[in-house]
Structure 1
């Protein structure tokens, strides 16, 4: 396998220069991109991708939490091509539909928990969460509760990148001062990260603290003003935060007590990543009022998202005789080619028993990653099936972080990339979300490559006087 080299790519690849001149990326880091360009990917098969120079990488990031069934599936390509030939587009508004969109909505209603029987199709995760927010406003107005509009979410969450969804999320690294955010109706409570629990609380004490804080926030705003609580079952981009046991049941109970809608943002956790189609009920014991999903819905073969909601909401907004219109939609929602990809994706997950496979290989990943806790730099390892994170610290005892300029997550990621492994650096974290088809041997490759990179980085930082080995 060739050794990846950004320097070579910058010096000799005209596509790198074209990229730097014309392509503005999501989360574009201007100075870094100007100097280094980007890693240009041209092919993918299964859990592997290749760049323009033939370098092959095990993609332990799964694209962006999304290449669930793996890349390059011929039957998916054929299904998409057949649908393009038959019907490439259909107007999704008002009194028009298409057969595959209907079939997909019916299938999602069957897979979703409880009475979440109604589906609004979107173009991705951000637009699914945006739709949920608008649906909540509409529902409360239809109920005659125009003041019940405040939203509670969690610090360091990620719910999307529209102005609204970035405001609902409150991830520090995303809150750059050059953007504006909405504040009036959006509020936040603590990140439920046991590793960072205040005052050395044990898990039970931390749980009580989180629940009490949530109730205090509701009461301070006035329960008649609070419309909904937004939460990822496991916080993904915020660092794979697995809350204390019982957290969601108790938060849900407070929502029931105070007539607050519970919105589960399952854009990452749905369609197999945790060994279930949806995680909220099966793994965390709650039936939400609304579920948002995307990513694994099509395994990223085409863009598609969905906002799935309850009969309770439908009965209010669709009350007969009111003459109402839900004036919200997207040109490409319900796109027949995207819906075909979703149906084929679900078929593959079911036929190949990938949920059962994830429970097996995900358990193995959990076990193997824990072995990294013994290494220098590693403060915490968090993993639930195929969502994983390694958190790096400058001091294990105090849990103190490295200074931002050390760029610890990127240092380790760069070493891994040079060895043919992609992990996702987020400040002091390396995050992983490999495809559902990953094997035990590939898990071993991920863990052992990371192990080497962490050890090498600790030596490097020690030599630079940036790490004392505590």
Structure 2
């Protein structure tokens, strides 16, 4: 793309530092500026329309341009544009949303606590876990175990939980007290002749060994996404969560389910915990909570977590944590309307109806010379790209092939996301069969172009 002087693209280059972007490369090529969205499509300032097959950032469940959400925001803005939840204050939307989320939870939960992003929710979780340990007279029991390739945010604390090297490099992360155990990617990490169940057993043994090495009395919690999202859409092997939970139970370690991507229908159930039989003590949710129309997130905590925290706040005189916009009335009102839309339009039913076609259609790409694996569940998947299928090798440096394929697919009218050398697919929950067919056809055509380019 040639950036014209004084264009909106040139102004972006001049003044805007972007997330997850090579800043120097951005100076050269500039942005694609998205101007509008409707349903599963977005349109840029040049008038080109794309299927947004990543639902924005895993998040626009009800699609773009949903008037009911705009109207809900306007109504609440006129009634009460802002109020906080500090010092015994509250407001209707926050109360209703807390009640709704506790009722929706797949396991008994006691309270909802609001923040503004998945990162903030997981950052707050770390503080809660430490606060609770002090309340219980267990000051040594504060370490948290995450997983290699897990993704839990980008604040100083939540980025430490994230198990991706580029989220740590040059940031002096991870912080002390955060540990990482095995990535449960069977296709990549499984040994020759090892079944999925045996691989799951080995992952659980790795976790047990790490706990033993650190000292069980020092481990407070384990955090995991039901399906790992930004680490490459890694679906857990059979029996994985059953075996992981058995280890945690043995050592009295809290289980935190990061439902930021999986929550509200993505995997074919309202929560990924239901899909994989996970019984968490804490859940973090965001993204599809409001379809990302406005920033909002929440932690759901059970009574085992809440009671000591409440007791400690009574002893100190306050729970000394909070952010100004937590439970913002406009964001909460939009989230409530968004959840109504998901329920009234039976988007969970749409996921269940279309998931088989979505997964089967994508898996037809496995016959392509450049595809090593297609993996997924519900309406989330990834296409792993290789140049050598038997050896599971790709172009060097890592990520080169993913970036090339992503660029070609986008040029051809579909927005996916390159995660290393995998292409992630995560369309809005309102997606239709014809959209899925276009996504798959466009991806195949783009991979054919990439194969021709590579010779």
| C-alpha contact 1:376 1:455 (8 A) present in aligned 2 | no
Instruction: Give the unaligned 5+ runs of structure 2.
Output: none
Aligned 1:60-209 pairs, distance under 5 A: 60-176=53-169, 178-200=170-192, 201-209=194-202
Partners of 1:319 and 1:407 in 2: how far apart? 52
What's the CA shift for 1:183?
A: 3.8
| C-alpha contact 2:387 2:394 (8 A) present in aligned 1 | yes
Partners of 1:71 and 1:29 in 2: how far apart? 27
Aligned 1:295-310 pairs, distance under 5 A: 295-310=287-302
Partners of 1:54 and 1:292 in 2: how far apart? 37
| C-alpha contact 1:149 1:225 (8 A) present in aligned 2 | yes
Query: Higher mean Cα deviation, 285-294 or 400-409?
Result: 400-409
Query: Higher mean Cα deviation, 163-172 or 263-272?
Result: 163-172
Q: Which residue of 1 aligns with 2:427?
A: 434
The DSSP-based 3-state class of the residue aligned with 2:113 is strand
The one of 27, 30, 38 equivalent to 1:34 is 27
Q: Which residue of 1 aligns with 2:304?
A: 312
Aligned 1:66-465 pairs, distance under 5 A: 66-176=59-169, 178-200=170-192, 201-280=194-273, 282-319=274-311, 322=315, 324-404=317-397, 407-462=400-455
Question: Structure 1-normalised TM-score?
Answer: 0.94
The DSSP-based 3-state class of the residue aligned with 2:343 is helix
| C-alpha contact 1:117 1:309 (8 A) present in aligned 2 | yes
- Runs of 4+ in structure 1 deviating by more than 4 angstroms, as ranges, are none
| C-alpha contact 2:168 2:174 (8 A) present in aligned 1 | no
Partners of 1:325 and 1:75 in 2: how far apart? 38
Q: Which residue of 2 aligns with 1:3?
A: none
| C-alpha contact 1:404 1:427 (8 A) present in aligned 2 | no
What's the CA shift for 1:257?
A: 1.2
Over 3 Å counting, the alpha-carbon distance change for 1:13 and 1:52 in structure 2 is farther
Instruction: Give the unaligned 5+ runs of structure 1.
Output: 1-5, 463-470
The DSSP-based 3-state class of the residue aligned with 1:359 is helix
Q: Which residue of 1 aligns with 2:18?
A: 25
Partners of 1:228 and 1:212 in 2: how far apart? 17
Partners of 2:399 and 2:257 in 1: how far apart? 35
Question: Structure 2-normalised TM-score?
Answer: 0.97
| C-alpha contact 1:231 1:265 (8 A) present in aligned 2 | yes
What's the CA shift for 1:279?
A: 1.6
Over 3 Å counting, the alpha-carbon distance change for 1:182 and 1:417 in structure 2 is closer
What's the CA shift for 1:289?
A: 0.3
| C-alpha contact 1:297 1:305 (8 A) present in aligned 2 | yes
Partners of 1:186 and 1:221 in 2: how far apart? 11
| C-alpha contact 1:110 1:117 (8 A) present in aligned 2 | no
Partners of 1:13 and 1:273 in 2: how far apart? 41
What are the Cα deviations for residues 339-396 of structure 1, in whole angstroms up to 9, with x where unaligned?
A: 0000000000000000011111122110100000000110010111111100001200
What are the Cα deviations for residues 83-115 of structure 1, in whole angstroms up to 9, with x where unaligned?
A: 000000002212100011000000000001222
| C-alpha contact 2:204 2:244 (8 A) present in aligned 1 | yes
Partners of 2:298 and 2:440 in 1: how far apart? 34
| C-alpha contact 1:370 1:381 (8 A) present in aligned 2 | yes
What are the Cα deviations for residues 259-278 of structure 1, in whole angstroms up to 9, with x where unaligned?
A: 10000001000011112222
What are the Cα deviations for residues 164-189 of structure 1, in whole angstroms up to 9, with x where unaligned?
A: 1111111134333x211134211111
What are the Cα deviations for residues 174-206 of structure 1, in whole angstroms up to 9, with x where unaligned?
A: 333x21113421111110000012432321221
**RMSD of aligned alpha carbons:** 1.4
Partners of 1:115 and 1:311 in 2: how far apart? 8
Query: Higher mean Cα deviation, 10-19 or 335-344?
Result: 10-19
What's the CA shift for 1:234?
A: 0.5
